[in-house]
Amino acid sequence: MPNIKSAKKRVKVIATKTQQNKAASSQLKTEIKKAVAAVDAGSENKAEAVRTAVKKIDQAAARGILHKNTAARKKAALDKKLNA
């Protein structure tokens, strides 16, 4: 446990940020799963589901939750699935 006041604050801030990042990451995974399910099922709104997932991936990359190359790879995989 830290003794210095600023170190104590950092522990609190890091805990809060970790929870926010976990929530955003979970939401991102959910959107990707929804898009993949829509494409696999061949539903009418599969393009919209993929567009939403790609937007979430871009937002996650901008916030630093995903590395930009990971985001590009995930987007490419979704596009490949959609256009296959």
Digit-coded pLDDT (tens) for 31-41: 999 999 999 99
Task: Give me the domains of the chain, ranges plus CATH numbers.
Answer: 5-83 (1.20.58.110)
Percent of the chain residues past pLDDT 90, beyond the cut:
94
**Which residues lie below 8 Å from residue 75, measured CB to CB, with a gap of 6+?**
54, 57, 58
User: Residue 64: left (phi > 0), alpha (psi -120 to 50), or beta?
Assistant: left
CA separation for the pair 30, 23 (Å, rounded): 11
Tell me, what's the pLDDT at 12? 97
Please check the confidence at residue 43 and state whether its pLDDT lies above 90. no
Tell me, what's the pLDDT at 84? 81
As a whole number, the mean pLDDT across the chain is: 95
Q: Tell me the pLDDT band of 8, cut-offs 50, 70 and 90.
A: very high
